Amino acid sequence: MPTRTTEWRFRRGLSPEFINALNECWERGGWWQQVVEDKDLILGIRDESLNVYYGGASLIRVDFRGGRIRAQTHYKYLVTSPEAGDYVSFLVGTSGQLEPVAGGGGAQISPNELRELKSNARAHSGEEKSGVHKIALSNRVGVLDLEVAFVAVGGDASQASSEEHSDDGGTLDRIDLAVLEAKTEHPRLIFFEAKHFTNKELRSSRPAPPVFEQLERYEEDLVHYSGQIKETYQRVASNLLALTGKIQTNDERRGLLEKTVEKLEIDTRPQLLVFGFDDDQKKGDAWARHSAKLEAHFKGRYHVRGDPSGFRL
């Protein structure tokens, strides 16, 4: 395994001012309330920003600048593409609704139209990303984060693409899911990589398919930064408890987050989820060989389901 020369950081959390502004916006019954209460959307807290996920994609990014909430969405999710730039910005107005920023590129609709945005996002979600989102929705009581990325000091995990590279030439690692497990006395945070069974990283004619090294890199990060990870996710749990909305009406999730703030254990051995096959494909000789290799290597950390919604993490 190559030795990294870049120092990484891991930080997530929102300031009290940002949380208060979001809660005030929710109370107005505007756009933010629509986002929080939408059963198809999942919030991912970043470093002084949030990503709103749908279908495996970051649909909207929300941050707080100059005392105002700002939302950004990629032009591909809009009905009409803007004249310039990849992202279109909106500010939350006094009514709680989003108002296009002057000179925002001529976008014809705003993220107020969540139904339109979600419809457009579906056209850009592949089977693997949409499968990850289905897994998250089926386990949303325990899901604490999606796209868990480690970035170089000075980098921005909320804007980094999956193709971004670090200074030492290594790709930016993104673990698909971080999920709280409540089976032990104290919540334990487990990390999952999820792949469609057609993903070539699961297969190899050589002894080790690429996914072996991928999860080894993840484990290296989780061990090295376990202290930062624990502190960060206890802060995230506290932030989620402070946000007004549906979190306050789900007793099971609220109780789990409250326990997480008190004490959290980090499982540094990531697990692999594979999905997207039917019975014939699952039993076929070609896949069975690869599956047996994965099962033997991960020893209890390898889980398979045809339908990704069937995972219970």
- Report the percent of the chain where pLDDT is more than 90: 54
Given pLDDT bands bounded at 50, 70 and 90, which one contains residue 85?
low
What span, in angstroms and rounded, lies between the C-alpha atoms of 275 and 196? 5
102 falls within a domain: yes
Pairing of strands 174-181, 49-54: unpaired
Q: Write down the mean pLDDT value for the chain.
A: 83
Query: What dihedral angle (degrees, nearest 10) is formed by the CA atoms of 163, 158, 71, 233?
Result: 140
pTM of the shown model: 0.86
3-state secondary structure the chain: CCCCCCCEECCCECCHHHHHHHHHHHHCCCHHHHHHHCCCCEEEECECEEEEEECCEEEEEEEEECCEEEEEEEHHHCCCCCCCCCEEEEEECCCCCEEECCCCCCCCCCCCCHHHHHHHHHCCCCHHHHHHHHHHHHCCCCEEEEEEECEECCCCCCCCCCCCECCCCCECCEEEEEEEECCCCCCEEEEEEEEECCCHHHCCCCCCCHHHHHHHHHHHHHHHCHHHHHHHHHHHHHHHHHCCCHHHHCHHHHHHHHHHHHCCEECCCCEEEEECCCHHHHHCHHHHHHHHHHHHHHCCCEEEECCHHHCCC
The answer as to whether 47 is a domain residue is: yes
The reply to whether 129 falls in a domain is yes
pLDDT in tens, 254-308: 999 999 999 999 999 999 999 998 766 767 677 888 889 999 999 999 999 999 9
105 inside domain? yes
Residue 254's domain comprises 8-310
- Going by C-alpha positions, the residue among 195, 186, 197, 140 that lies closest to residue 313 is 140
The domain total for the chain is 1
CA distances from 121 to 54, 58, 68, 77, 117 (A): 8, 9, 26, 6, 6
Strand-pairing partners, residue 149, are: 174
Sign of CA dihedral 111, 115, 120, 126: positive
**CA angle 31–35–40, rounded 5-degree value:** 150
Q: Which of 195-204, 239-248, 279-288, 300-309 has the lowest mean pLDDT?
A: 279-288
Comparing 5 with 279, the larger pLDDT belongs to 279
3 within some domain: no
Please indicate, yes or no, if residue 168 is contained in any of the structural domains: yes
Residue 1 lies in a domain: no
Cβ-contact 87, 72 below 8 angstroms? yes
The C-alpha atoms of residue 85 and residue 6 are separated, in whole angstroms, by 30
pLDDT tens sequence across 137-174: 999 999 999 999 876 544 444 444 333 333 333 446 78
Supply the pLDDT for residue 2. 43
The pLDDT-based confidence of 91 (bands split at 50, 70, 90) is confident
**CB-count burial class (<10 Å; 0-12, 13-18, 19+) for 268:** middle
Q: Does residue 2 sit within a domain?
A: no
Contacts of 231 (CB under 8 A, 6+ apart): none
Which one has a higher pLDDT value, 137 or 124?
137
Half-sphere exposure of 208 (CA within 13 A, CB side): 10
